[in-house]
């Protein structure tokens, strides 16, 4: 953990919080904290701050907390992902939060097995815990919004614009693309090609069908390829989000 995340309802004693379980074990065993030690903390969906170790009570830890006045910004990249196999999604949750995603839309597609939607990995309690794990690794506090869509076509036709009203660019990753992401961003006269929000669509491991590609194109998505290699869903997500996040951070400077 590079940041100890605290739930707002845990702050029930003024500026003090009583931690137990995994976070307390990490503070005591990994950070070797003693009274007076300063720790990096954050309020879930709130500001970052500093926690001062006040007491070590058995296996528990008591912190005195101070927080910054402003919340961290929500990541500029949103992800529309064709639901992968449950075991892939299980390990992907924390990685998505660590890389920085504002919203995660999990959708059906022609090559997505319907039974995937019945998996426990889509239960809010399950994925929230993994998202928090990723946030603590990355040192962020803003939990990605998650939405699960069982029908892709109605969502694209009827809801996409209202769900993503301020998206500046829409990109779709597919081997059929004739340009890579950098070439898509090279627009004459654009001083800052990565400015504004970005929506990235990543398909199933079997790929989007030609009909699905046409639907995305009609909704303003630019198709790009990720190189000559065919990547698995989790590898593609990590590689593409890392690239877009880095480019977005570079353009902010």
Residue 152 has a CB neighbour count (10 Å cut-off) of 20
Highest mean pLDDT among 78-87, 198-207, 227-236: 78-87
Give pTM, 2 decimals. Answer: 0.89
Distance CA 26, CA 237 (A): 29
For 63, phi and psi rounded to 5 degrees?
A: -115, 145
b/e map 118-130, b = 16+ CB within 10 Å: eeebbeeeebbeb
Structural domains in the chain, sorted by start: 4-67 (2.40.240.20), 77-252 (3.40.1280.10)
Q: What is the mean pLDDT of residues 220-247?
A: 88
Which is more confident, 100 or 192?
100
Helix, strand, coil % over all residues of the chain, rounded to 5: 40, 25, 35
Task: Give the range among 4-13, 32-41, 83-92, 135-144 with minimum mean pLDDT.
Answer: 4-13
Asked if the model's pLDDT at residue 192 lies above 50, the reply is no
Secondary element (H or E) of residue 136: helix 124-138
Q: For residue 133, is pLDDT > 90?
A: yes
């Amino acid at each position: 953990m590079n940041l100890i995340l605290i739930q707002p309802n845990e702050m029930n004693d003024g500026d003090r919080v009583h931690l137990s379980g995994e976070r307390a074990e990490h503070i005591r065993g990994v950070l070797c904290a003693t009274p007076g030690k300063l720790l990096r903390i954050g309020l879930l969906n709130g500001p970052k701050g500093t926690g001062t170790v006040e007491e070590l009570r058995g296996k528990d830890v008591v912190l005195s907390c101070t927080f910054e006045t402003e919340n961290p910004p929500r990541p500029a990249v949103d992800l529309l992902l064709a639901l992968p196999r449950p075991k892939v999604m299980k390990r992907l949750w924390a990685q998505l939060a660590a890389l920085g995603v504002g919203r995660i839309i999990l959708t059906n597609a022609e090559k997505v097995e319907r039974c995937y939607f019945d998996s426990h990995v889509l239960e809010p309690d399950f994925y929230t815990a993994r998202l928090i794990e990723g946030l603590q690794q990355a040192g962020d506090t803003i939990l990605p919004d998650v939405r699960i869509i069982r029908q892709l076509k109605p969502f694209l036709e009827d809801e996409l614009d209202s769900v993503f009203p301020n998206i500046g660019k829409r990109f779709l990753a597919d081997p059929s693309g004739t340009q890579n992401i950098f070439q898509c961003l090279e627009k004459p006269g654009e001083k800052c090609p990565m400015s504004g929000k970005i929506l990235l669509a990543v398909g199933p491991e079997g790929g989007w069908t030609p009909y699905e590609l046409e639907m995305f194109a009609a909704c303003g998505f630019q198709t790009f390829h990720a190189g000559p290699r065919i990547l698995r869903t989790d590898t593609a997500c990590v590689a593409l989000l890392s690239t877009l996040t880095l480019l977005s951070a570079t353009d902010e400077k």
